[in-house]
Structure 1
Amino acid sequence: MGVTKYRSAGDMPPPPRVSGAALAATIRAVWARSRRLAPPAYTPGVQKFADIGAAQRARELEQRGRIRRLRTIRAR
């Protein structure tokens, strides 16, 4: 595959347009991949903490759990 250089973005051809079922499938695939790579880092619901230190400790604990999960997945 050759490399084409353009003087400006205006000289480039437009990106391919995806619509309909192909667009929905592409969006689902991207969302599924993002959930596998980085699942939500928060527990659903409202969390209250006594002080900023407690909030920071909870955040660090969640981060350590995420790192552990990613390492487990990557070790497979």
Structure 2
Amino acid sequence: MAVKKTAATDAAADAGDPAAVTGVTFADSAYTSRSLFLQAGDDLRELKVLAGRVTVQADDDEALAFLGGHADLQRLDC
């Protein structure tokens, strides 16, 4: 059975890391709230859109590629 990872579990795993990694935020033009699922082998990762935004860590190349290729999402550069 696949293990579902969430942004919260990913953040908890990184909480002990003293070198904080910055986040990258995407705006969702279609929904203000939804879950996006990224398949990684047998695992699923849930990326939650809240208030029309989804944020992932800047060093998460897999999630950045997934979100960057999504038609409804636009990367916000701050």
How high is the TM-score relative to the length of structure 2? 0.21
How high is the TM-score relative to the length of structure 1? 0.22
Q: Which has the higher helix share?
A: 1
Answer 1 or 2: higher relative contact order, Cα 8 Å, separation at least 6.
Answer: 2
Q: Which has the higher strand share?
A: 2
